[in-house]
Amino acid sequence: MKPDEILDYCLSSLEGTTLVESWGEKGVFYNPNHILKRGVYVLTVKEKDGANDRSSNLNRQGIYRVNLGLRKTTFQNLFGDIPPRPAAGGVVEMPYDFTAADCLLPHPVYAWMGWISILNPSESTFNECKPLLQEAYEFAIEKFKKRT
């Protein structure tokens, strides 16, 4: 799949979402009627390395990473214990190859917050992850309600 296909799917399937581009990534935020300045993250697509996140080697030709924020209990069911927060510019200490494509991984930097990632998901992998996307959406709605 291409990044825009994933973003288009989210924006057309997840009511109340909007696209925000910043910090070298595109984010799908839950923000019905633009009540909050930015909204609450549902999903991001990152297409290049940043100063504090080079762990996926996104500067390779055609490589991008999809990131989802899940409830910590779901993260633990998928990957075990929540890792400690890494130092600025660091990577979580977990036994994963954060450069591997088309497989579900903890987020290399934000796993401590319950985030997961997939580099270049195929259509079948993306379809398998749709329940996780739905959870990220519902979790964003919960956070949005707390902020408004």
**pLDDT by position in tens, the chain (length 148):** 999 999 999 999 999 999 999 877 999 999 999 999 999 999 999 999 988 889 999 999 999 999 999 999 999 999 999 999 999 889 999 999 999 999 999 999 999 999 999 999 999 999 999 999 999 999 999 999 999 9
Residue whose structure tokens are 């990534």: 25
Residue 73 CB coordination number (10 Å): 10
Cα separation of 117 and 43, whole Å?
Answer: 10
| Displacement of CA 100 from its chain's centroid (Å) | 16
- Tens digits of per-residue pLDDT, 103-116? 999 999 999 999 99
Cα separation of 72 and 78, whole Å?
Answer: 10
pLDDT at 51: 84
Predicted TM-score (pTM) of the model is 0.95
The answer to whether the CB of 18 falls within 8 A of the CB of 143 is no
Which residues in the chain belong to E strands, given as ranges? 17-22, 25-30, 40-46, 65-69, 105-106, 115-119
What's 142's DSSP letter? Answer: H
- How buried is residue 139: exposed, middle or buried, by Cβ count under 10 Å (0-12/13-18/19+)? buried
pLDDT at 23: 79
pLDDT at 22: 87
Cα separation of 32 and 104, whole Å?
Answer: 29
pLDDT at 39: 96
pLDDT at 24: 79
